[in-house]
Amino acid sequence: MTVDAVIEVEHLSVKRGGHVVLPDLSLTIERGSVVGLLGPSGGGKSTAIRSIVGVQRIESGTVTVLGLPAGHPELRHRVGYTTQSPSIYADLSVRDNVRYFARILGVANHREAADRAIETVDLTDHANRHARELSGGQLSRASLAAALVGDPEVLVLDEPTVGLDPVLRRDLWDMFRALADAGRTLLVSSHVMDEAVRCDRLLLLRSGRLIADDTLPDLLARTGAADAEGAFLALVEAGVS
């Protein structure tokens, strides 16, 4: 494992429902970067993410996070994860949800930490609302606050910007950048290709295979495309798979 590799996946193979979803995935993610995991629906983004946070049964290969096997108990405190569908308690308020996760993680000053995380995702005005009363975008932000509250070194976020308006999306990406600048490492999945411009590096996943692992400028130079979507289509047409 290279010195600054925070996430290292080697020859990962995963089957779901009897079908091979990831045949042979290898990738490395470095500290302090925002890496976008992009690609069409069904391409395997969530499966790759689940493997990295250690909740996916794998066939073979290795997944190492912060030098430990994915899912290692020590990583619970060091890796923040949001699932694609928001996973907080519907009958608790936003504040109580985030405090609850803070307590589980043993966060010092858990009340203040919860309020800070809620502020970060711009939900302070809704902090007393029950989660079941929130819109989809507000719910995913509440989940994000729960993932942020322990100040994890690594954040693995499955489609955190789905259903958000452009202003909130921009604010969240600004926050991801600030976290990376502070030395955190982020892996963020999206099927919105224009979010590629916010990432240090792009992993394009199609049918379970990485068809690109590159910076956006290098990807555009290599394909002659004007944007990430064009580059993706060019790679598909060129038969890279």
Ligand X SMILES: Nc1ncnc2c1ncn2[C@@H]1O[C@H](COP(=O)(O)OP(=O)(O)OP(=O)(O)O)[C@@H](O)[C@H]1O
Residue nearer to Mg ion on the CB measure, 45 or 126: 45
What token pair was written down for 159?
């489609």
- Which residues, 25 to 84, sit near ligand X by CB under 6 A? 41-47, 84
The answer to whether 30 and 4 are in contact (CB under 8 A) is yes
Q: Is residue 63 helix, strand or coil?
A: strand
- Which residues, 182 to 211, sit near ligand X by CB under 6 A? 191
- Using only C-alpha atoms, the chain has a radius of gyration, in whole angstroms, of 18
Residue nearer to Mg ion on the CB measure, 13 or 84: 84
Q: How far is the CB of 41 from ligand X (least distance, A)?
A: 3
Site stretch for ligand X (CB under 6 A), options 14-22, 141-149, 174-182, 210-218 = 14-22
Residue nearer to ligand X on the CB measure, 36 or 150: 36
Taking CB under 5 A as the criterion, the residue among 14, 22, 46, 56 binding Mg ion is 46
Given the DSSP bridges, would you call strands 154-158 and 185-190 parallel, antiparallel or unpaired? parallel
Q: How far is the CB of 221 from Mg ion (least distance, A)?
A: 29
- Which residues, 81 to 100, sit near ligand X by CB under 6 A? 84
Crossing angle of helices 136-148 and 166-181, in 10° steps, is 10
Q: Count of alpha carbons within 13 Å of 198, Cβ hemisphere only? A: 24
- In 3D, which of 189, 168, 217, 148 has the Cα closest to residue 35? 189
Residue nearer to Mg ion on the CB measure, 38 or 145: 38
Q: How far is the CB of 224 from ligand X (least distance, A)?
A: 26
Virtual CA dihedral for 195, 198, 203, 204, nearest 10 degrees? 30
- For the chain, the 3-state helix, strand and coil shares in percent, each to the nearest 5, are 40, 25, 35
Taking CB under 6 A as the criterion, the residue among 2, 17, 91, 106 binding ligand X is 17
Residue nearer to ligand X on the CB measure, 87 or 124: 87
Q: How far is the CB of 184 from ligand X (least distance, A)?
A: 23
Q: How far is the CB of 208 from ligand X (least distance, A)?
A: 7
Residue nearer to Mg ion on the CB measure, 45 or 141: 45
Residue nearest to ligand X (CB): 17
Q: What per-residue string of b and e applies to 149-161 under the rule 16 or more CB within 10 Å gives b?
A: bbbbbbbbbbbbb
Using CB under 6 A, list all residues that contact ligand X. 16-17, 21, 41-47, 84, 191
